[in-house]
């Protein structure tokens, strides 16, 4: 997501989350998520936080293993 869903203005960095160590079926990674906000100060999206949907779908909060590892173990 590169543009605001409310006004289509460009999204800019709001803050970076702390680095996380994640183990997936593709290997081990250190990841740092960048949280975005709308650059348009008149838009309600300026006060909101936009997070990476793909990243949120691949991890489990407070867990080191990715969702793909948990699903793989479940199928074994």
Token output for 68: 């793909």
- Residue 59 makes contact with Zn ion by CB under 5 A: no
Asked if 31 and 51 touch (Cβ cutoff 8 Å), the reply is no
Scanning 2-10, 13-21, 25-33, 55-63 for contacts with Zn ion by CB under 5 A, the matching segment is 2-10
- Residue 43 makes contact with Zn ion by CB under 5 A: yes
- Residue 4 makes contact with Zn ion by CB under 5 A: yes
Half-sphere exposure of 25 (CA within 13 A, CB side): 8
- Residue 48 makes contact with Zn ion by CB under 5 A: no
Q: Cα–Cα distance between 39 and 47 in angstroms, integer?
A: 10
- Residue 36 makes contact with Zn ion by CB under 5 A: no
């Amino acid at each position: 997501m590169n543009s605001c869903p409310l006004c289509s203005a460009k999204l800019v960095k709001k803050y970076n989350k702390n680095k996380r160590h994640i183990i997936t079926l593709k290997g081990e990674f250190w990841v740092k998520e960048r949280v975005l906000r709308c650059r348009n100060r008149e838009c309600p999206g300026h006060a909101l936080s936009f997070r990476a949907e793909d990243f949120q779908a691949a991890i489990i909060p407070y867990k080191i293993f990715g969702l793909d590892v948990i699903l793989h173990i479940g199928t074994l």
